[in-house]
Copies of this chain bind each other. A is one copy, B any other.
Amino acid sequence: MADAPTKSYQPINFVQKYGLFDEQWQPKVVAELNDYQFKLVRIEGDFVWHQHPDTDEAFIVLEGELRIDFRDGSVTVKPGEMFVVKQGVEHKPYAAAEVKMMLIEPRGVPNTGSAPGERTAANDVWI
């Protein structure tokens, strides 16, 4: 009789993870890929203008409609869509109603980038 593989690994389920927190603008790490992190976040309303001087930042929208404002325009990102804000580009996320989205960026990148302040969230918080 062959040895059957028996270990059942668990995927990361986004709905299950969102069931673990309600607060907005507080990214939660759910996975790491080398030195990059996948973070789930709820956002609603306006954020602060900021940029990330050392890295690009990827947004994948899971629910709701995200608008990212730039100094010269904007992009609207819906479920099933993504956008990458390039390193050093000033941006301001906005959500008229709550958006659930995934951020992907290197470990240690603060949510407010170049503009630390009262909107700066705790970093590297796992759920």
Instruction: Please report A residues at the B interface, Cβ cutoff 8 Å.
Output: 5-15, 30-34, 36, 38, 55-58, 60, 62, 68-78, 80-84, 87, 104-106
Contacts and interface: CB of A to CB of B under 8 A. Distances in A.
B9 A83 contact: yes
Contacts of A71: 5
A75 B11 contact: yes
Contacts of A84: 31-33
Nearest to A68: B9
Nearest to A10: B75
Nearest to A5: B73
Contacts of A70: 5, 7, 9
Given A12-B81, A104-B104, 10 more contacts: A6-B73, A7-B74, A11-B77, A14-B80, A30-B82, A33-B36, A33-B56, A38-B82, A60-B60, A62-B80
